[in-house]
Structure 1
Amino acid sequence: MRRIVVILLSCSLLFYEGCTTSYYKKSADKETYAVIREKGATIPNMDRHFTIEDTNIFSLELPVSTNVDETLGSDAESEREARILSLDAALEVAVHSSRVYQRTKEQLYLQALSLTLARHEYDPIFFGKGSAAYSVETEEAVAVIVDPITHLPTTAVSDNLVEQKRVAGNGSTGFDWLLKTGGRLSAAITTDFLRYLSGSPQTFTSSQVAANFVQPLWRGAGYTVAIENLTDSERNLLYAIRDFSRYRRTFSVQIATAYYGVLQNRDTVRNSYLGYQSFKKSAERTRALATEGRTKQAELARLEQQELSNQSTWISAIRTYKQALDSFKIQLGLSTDLNVILDDKELEDLKILHPDISSEEALKVALTTRLDLYNVRDKVEDSERRVKLAANGLKPQVDLVANAGLDSKPNTSGFFPAPEPNRYHWTAGLNVDLPLERKAERNVYRAALIDVRVAQGNLEQTTDEIKLEVRDGLRSLDQAKRNYEINEIAVKLGERRVEEQTLLSELGRGTAEATVSAQNDLVAAKNALTAALVGHTIARLQFWNNLGILYIKDNGQFEEVNRAID
């Protein structure tokens, strides 16, 4: 007994020392990342250095702002010494720090992790276990007496209770193997040990080597049926990697959209401030004219009211900008306390780059490259495969069953008596389950037929939706380009009107209403021009994304297709 306990404890301690939590984590990561690399090698634009480790970097060498922008008023000083974040830097920070992006990566990792288990289920799974117990029970004493008649020894049960003490143990090791033919093979070596400690000490041991094999011959038979769980896991990971690859594009476009949105809000602040300053000058000029009696007080009051209104608009624009900047920090995964501003040069460098591609060419590219469409197409194949699997479930169950083993000599001494070749046993036969009750299987089969139609419908709908996205993307680009051209003219006209009204006011011939209208229209035209430029840029990025050809680097930065013209 003591030897059994010592051996079991020693094995447990050695196994525990070799398999700490750190070991299991490293083992899971190594296998999971290998699976992702294996599947991702064929997927365009997949992150070749995929990891879910928290790299949360903000060690980028960013320039520091030394200027104070007066258009921000009292908030300008808070941006002194702020780090200037370019679009490329923002994208790099986002892929390392964004909580949403990290969660998406973790979902992909978990999908790959489940595949490692699905694959492992078709490997021989080894086991080793054992137990040991010490037991005590009381029983009637048995004595040997001499029969007074025959004078021969005989046994007799007395009323006295005696303690019976014993130790028992058993151990087994073997494997269980799910075969890709649908069969299952298991084998084990077992040993049993029993020793009585009270009375006349006795020891009994036995051992056995046994194997068991079950192979379906009809229902559940065949490679395709047997590995369905593995096939499903393999394809689910492929779908997840495709989705992640497409998500990388969408995520970068989202970050760029938010980035330019913040810059657009900053430009609105600037335009509102300049409009407010223009009204202040107009009010001061009109106030001087009113003092000389060259204009009416009503004209002055109108300008002063508009000055206050523009001041309120300017203050509101500052608040909107600061709110957008803080929201963008959260989107990047940064603290709102971090003093960061965006690079105005990114907005200054924007220009209209209109894709030089026809609708027919764009549709052809999208239907060839869109990874989500590949997933929907493959799911049609999945549904058709499951119809065959469901049909297999309607068949009779006929299994070949066999087992064999070798036994040791019973009640022998020693720790592990070896099984003897001449002490064998084996059986072979068939287990049959006639399909007298298959209602559940019938329902699965009928549902599988419906799923085929649903999958085909999803394919048709997804194809139409992609075509709609591409065509609508081209229309949006054309609209944004025309809006930009219109607002370019509007800004020039607005500037001319303001100059004219300023000159008329200096001559005492202008009206407050005309001045207010000209200056408000100029501010609105400048805001609209920036909105059109940003809108066209975002629409262009989204268009390339809809075509599935927006290339994303490992640091999240995108690379546009060169086929574009000014």
Structure 2
Amino acid sequence: MPVMDGKYWGEIKNGALFAAVLLLSSCTKIGDYAEDRADRAAYGNIAGAQSKAMGAAEPFSIGGADDALVQRLMATERKLETAEVLSLADTLAIAMANSRSYQTRKETLYIEALNLSETQKDFNWNYSASADVSTEYTTLEDGTAETFGDNGIDTTIKAGVTRTLATGAKVSLGFTQNVFSYFTNPDSSDANNALSLNIVQPLLNGFGPLVTKEPLRQAERDMVYAVREFKRYQQDFVIDIASLYYSTLQARDQLINQRNSFESAVLNRKQTESYAKAGRIADFQAAEAMQSELNAADRWSLAQSNYDSAIDDFRYALGLPIELNVVPDTNELARLEMKGLIEVEVDFEEALVSALSNRLDLINLREQVQDKQRKVEIRRRNFLPNLDVSYSVTKNLDTRDNSTVHDDVAQNLGVGLELPLDWTEKRNAYRIAQISLDREVRALSEEEDDIRRTVRDLWRKLERNRSVYKNRLLSVELSTRRVENTQLLLKQGKALTRDLLEAEDDLLSSKNEATAALVDYTINRLRFWNAIERFEIDPKGMWYEQSDPEKAVAAPQR
């Protein structure tokens, strides 16, 4: 017996293990199926909203980064011996494919689309099914149990389908069957075996598509709003990444300049000390040179810290490991200087009209005013009495005679009237809807003024950046001449090394300021196009500035 028990126990464990594996496999397949169906619903809703909002669907996915460069970088050892140099185009593509914040915004839009699918379900045919197994018994005085009902067991299945129509009618079709009685005692009669149809149609309050389809209508419009908001976010995101890219390069230039300044300060201090020992200059000038060297060392240290922080921020924004040795391409600044000031070929009035007409966030606000107006009308109709007409038909199936089926059909037609004697909640809801409409109108007006202010401010910034850049270029030219003249005077003994170093510092400062003005102009130019809704991007982050569609300025290609 012990051996037999062990054998049986082993068979039980093997059977349980097989059942667990089978169950887990089934759950995995169901999960994969559910994921696929959810993706189809969400991506379909997003594509539909994109077509309504912008005239065409655009590629969208919340899947993992499929960019080849991202995959290669993430698979690389984090500490590269040679730094990976990223062009501006590569940086934009990596950011679009790998940024954590960008991924979060994509997932937010995806969830919005999933929520819409739940609302859509309420206005489609909804199917349901259930099964109940129960038994009823009581314990007698002698301790025995007495069961009730046919064979002591009641097994019932129910199936149904419901739908809300555009007129406000609610239609439901249901079927109930006592399965256990049907197979074990077919001669018995069971009133639970029935097929039923129910229709309830409101005639006053709740009648018509304006009221009935409002939840679906609003959910679909919210989806369109979310798509427009995401589009604006994409455009701002690309500009922010470009700004971060150039600011990182500026931090590197400042580091190089401060290092050169320190090296020059060291040479100046040594030369000044030798002149002081020879009695050619006073000792206090040597002390000044030493102080200048110390200050230059501090500035170099600060520039190094700023650049290190800028590199960390750069990698963090791209979603890359902080210690991964990737840096922006220094040639991008040279390319920017070669292009110079790209003129904004649009006048101010045209820009303002474009902003007020085409801004996606402004279009959202205008349509949201329409939403509030519709809500006021719906709340007004809510004061109507509830007058509903209903019709139901139930077909009871009698299976006592196997050769003949007798049908009992019960029909009911009714009219219900409910007068709204207590209007407190409806009155308050109506008044709140009116106030919400007023607020939305004010918000629209405020946003229009804010857009006007933004466009005017960016227009002034571009003018100022343009002026500063031209002045800095002139300053570079003058500083260059000063350096050349000071070098000649130094050879003639009519100037000190300190004079030459000051001239070189001014030259470097002028170059830095010219580069900063050019970068500021470039970023403000992009923000200006975005402010008037003439800034287009592709899935890789390439941008197009639409002063004229035939003269669009494109970002660098990969």
Task: Give the TM-score category using the shorter length.
Answer: 0.7 to 0.9
- In the other structure, the counterpart of 2:462 is 477
2:92 is equivalent to residue 97 of structure 1: no
- Residue 27 of structure 1 aligns with an amino acid whose one-letter code is R
Q: Kindly indicate whether the alpha-carbon contact (under 8 Å) linking 1:56 and 1:96 is maintained by their aligned counterparts in 2.
A: yes
- In the other structure, the counterpart of 2:11 is none
Q: Which has the higher strand share?
A: 1
- In the other structure, the counterpart of 2:471 is 486
- In the other structure, the counterpart of 2:372 is 383
Cα offset, 1:20, TM superposition: 0.5
CA distance in 2, matches of 1:32, 1:61: 26
Of 453, 457, 463 in structure 1, the residue corresponding to residue 442 of structure 2 is 457
Equivalent residues in 2 for 1:537-556 (5 A)? 537-556=522-541
1:397–1:79: structure 2 CA closer, same or farther, 3 Å change rule? same
- Residue 146 of structure 2 aligns with an amino acid whose one-letter code is E
CA distance in 1, matches of 2:322, 2:231: 29
Of 33, 36, 45 in structure 2, the residue corresponding to residue 35 of structure 1 is 45
- In the other structure, the counterpart of 1:319 is 305
Cα offset, 1:356, TM superposition: 2.4
- In the other structure, the counterpart of 1:345 is 331
TM-score after normalising by structure 2: 0.85
CA distance in 2, matches of 1:517, 1:419: 111
CA distance in 1, matches of 2:526, 2:220: 32
Q: Kindly indicate whether the alpha-carbon contact (under 8 Å) linking 2:472 and 2:513 is maintained by their aligned counterparts in 1.
A: yes
Larger Rg: 1
- In the other structure, the counterpart of 1:396 is 385
Secondary structure at 2:37's aligned position in 1?
Answer: helix
Q: Kindly indicate whether the alpha-carbon contact (under 8 Å) linking 2:80 and 2:324 is maintained by their aligned counterparts in 1.
A: no
- Residue 542 of structure 2 aligns with an amino acid whose one-letter code is Q
Unaligned runs of 5+ in 1: 1-12, 64-77, 141-158
CA distance in 1, matches of 2:71, 2:511: 33
1:565–1:295: structure 2 CA closer, same or farther, 3 Å change rule? farther
Cα offset, 1:413, TM superposition: 7.6
Equivalent residues in 2 for 1:417-428 (5 A)? 420-421=406-407, 423-428=408-413
Q: Kindly indicate whether the alpha-carbon contact (under 8 Å) linking 1:353 and 1:565 is maintained by their aligned counterparts in 2.
A: no
CA distance in 2, matches of 1:456, 1:227: 24
Deviating more after overlay: 250-259 vs 356-365: 356-365
CA distance in 2, matches of 1:483, 1:47: 42
2:520 is equivalent to residue 535 of structure 1: yes
Secondary structure at 2:152's aligned position in 1?
Answer: strand
2:146 is equivalent to residue 163 of structure 1: yes
Of 358, 371, 377 in structure 2, the residue corresponding to residue 369 of structure 1 is 358
1:551–1:565: structure 2 CA closer, same or farther, 3 Å change rule? closer
Q: How many residues align?
A: 513
Equivalent residues in 2 for 1:145-544 (5 A)? 163-164=146-147, 166-192=152-178, 205-206=190-191, 207-350=193-336, 351-409=340-398, 412=400, 420-421=406-407, 423-510=408-495, 517-544=502-529
Cα offset, 1:121, TM superposition: 0.9
- In the other structure, the counterpart of 1:123 is 124
Cα offset, 1:495, TM superposition: 3.2
Q: Which has the higher helix share?
A: 2
Secondary structure at 1:54's aligned position in 2?
Answer: coil
Secondary structure at 2:406's aligned position in 1?
Answer: coil
Cα offset, 1:562, TM superposition: 5.8
- Partner deviation per Cα, 1:51-97 (whole Å, 9 max, x = no partner): 0112264636999xxxxxxxxxxxxxx98511110000000000110
CA distance in 1, matches of 2:417, 2:349: 59
1:396–1:562: structure 2 CA closer, same or farther, 3 Å change rule? closer
Cα offset, 1:138, TM superposition: 3.8
Cα offset, 1:293, TM superposition: 2.4
CA distance in 2, matches of 1:179, 1:332: 49
- Residue 483 of structure 1 aligns with an amino acid whose one-letter code is V
Aligned CA-pair RMSD: 3.0
Cα offset, 1:502, TM superposition: 4.6
Secondary structure at 1:337's aligned position in 2?
Answer: coil
Secondary structure at 2:322's aligned position in 1?
Answer: coil
CA distance in 1, matches of 2:423, 2:136: 50
Cα offset, 1:515, TM superposition: 5.5
1:232–1:381: structure 2 CA closer, same or farther, 3 Å change rule? same
CA distance in 2, matches of 1:47, 1:497: 59
CA distance in 2, matches of 1:54, 1:409: 59
Cα offset, 1:468, TM superposition: 1.1
1:556–1:544: structure 2 CA closer, same or farther, 3 Å change rule? same
Cα offset, 1:233, TM superposition: 0.3
CA distance in 1, matches of 2:419, 2:369: 32
CA distance in 2, matches of 1:162, 1:503: 120
TM-score after normalising by structure 1: 0.84
CA distance in 1, matches of 2:436, 2:186: 69
Deviating more after overlay: 556-565 vs 129-138: 556-565
- Partner deviation per Cα, 1:182-204 (whole Å, 9 max, x = no partner): 11111111123676xxxx99955
Deviating more after overlay: 114-123 vs 489-498: 489-498
Q: Kindly indicate whether the alpha-carbon contact (under 8 Å) linking 2:48 and 2:57 is maintained by their aligned counterparts in 1.
A: no
Q: Kindly indicate whether the alpha-carbon contact (under 8 Å) linking 1:193 and 1:203 is maintained by their aligned counterparts in 2.
A: no
Q: Kindly indicate whether the alpha-carbon contact (under 8 Å) linking 1:136 and 1:163 is maintained by their aligned counterparts in 2.
A: yes
- Partner deviation per Cα, 1:110-159 (whole Å, 9 max, x = no partner): 1111111111111111112111234443458xxxxxxxxxxxxxxxxxx9
Q: Kindly indicate whether the alpha-carbon contact (under 8 Å) linking 1:204 and 1:413 is maintained by their aligned counterparts in 2.
A: no
Deviating more after overlay: 552-561 vs 532-541: 552-561
- Partner deviation per Cα, 1:294-315 (whole Å, 9 max, x = no partner): 2222222212221221122112
- Residue 307 of structure 2 aligns with an amino acid whose one-letter code is Y
Q: Kindly indicate whether the alpha-carbon contact (under 8 Å) linking 2:393 and 2:410 is maintained by their aligned counterparts in 1.
A: yes
Cα offset, 1:177, TM superposition: 1.2
Q: Kindly indicate whether the alpha-carbon contact (under 8 Å) linking 1:272 and 1:314 is maintained by their aligned counterparts in 2.
A: yes
- In the other structure, the counterpart of 1:3 is none
- In the other structure, the counterpart of 1:67 is none
Q: Kindly indicate whether the alpha-carbon contact (under 8 Å) linking 1:194 and 1:204 is maintained by their aligned counterparts in 2.
A: no
- Residue 258 of structure 1 aligns with an amino acid whose one-letter code is L
Secondary structure at 2:59's aligned position in 1?
Answer: coil
Cα offset, 1:493, TM superposition: 2.7
1:298–1:512: structure 2 CA closer, same or farther, 3 Å change rule? farther
CA distance in 2, matches of 1:375, 1:308: 57
1:214–1:443: structure 2 CA closer, same or farther, 3 Å change rule? same
1:420–1:337: structure 2 CA closer, same or farther, 3 Å change rule? farther
Unaligned runs of 5+ in 2: 1-22, 74-78, 554-558
Secondary structure at 1:402's aligned position in 2?
Answer: strand
- Partner deviation per Cα, 1:341-377 (whole Å, 9 max, x = no partner): 1101111111211212211011112122211111011
- Residue 454 of structure 1 aligns with an amino acid whose one-letter code is R
CA distance in 2, matches of 1:98, 1:160: 71
CA distance in 2, matches of 1:539, 1:25: 42
Cα offset, 1:489, TM superposition: 2.0
Cα offset, 1:162, TM superposition: 6.6
- Residue 118 of structure 1 aligns with an amino acid whose one-letter code is T
Q: Kindly indicate whether the alpha-carbon contact (under 8 Å) linking 1:300 and 1:512 is maintained by their aligned counterparts in 2.
A: no
CA distance in 2, matches of 1:45, 1:537: 29
- Residue 472 of structure 1 aligns with an amino acid whose one-letter code is D
CA distance in 1, matches of 2:208, 2:186: 55
- In the other structure, the counterpart of 1:109 is 110
Q: Kindly indicate whether the alpha-carbon contact (under 8 Å) linking 1:115 and 1:237 is maintained by their aligned counterparts in 2.
A: yes
Secondary structure at 1:335's aligned position in 2?
Answer: coil
1:419–1:267: structure 2 CA closer, same or farther, 3 Å change rule? farther
- Partner deviation per Cα, 1:368-416 (whole Å, 9 max, x = no partner): 2211111011011111111110001111111112211111238x388xx
Secondary structure at 2:513's aligned position in 1?
Answer: helix
Q: Kindly indicate whether the alpha-carbon contact (under 8 Å) linking 2:65 and 2:71 is maintained by their aligned counterparts in 1.
A: no
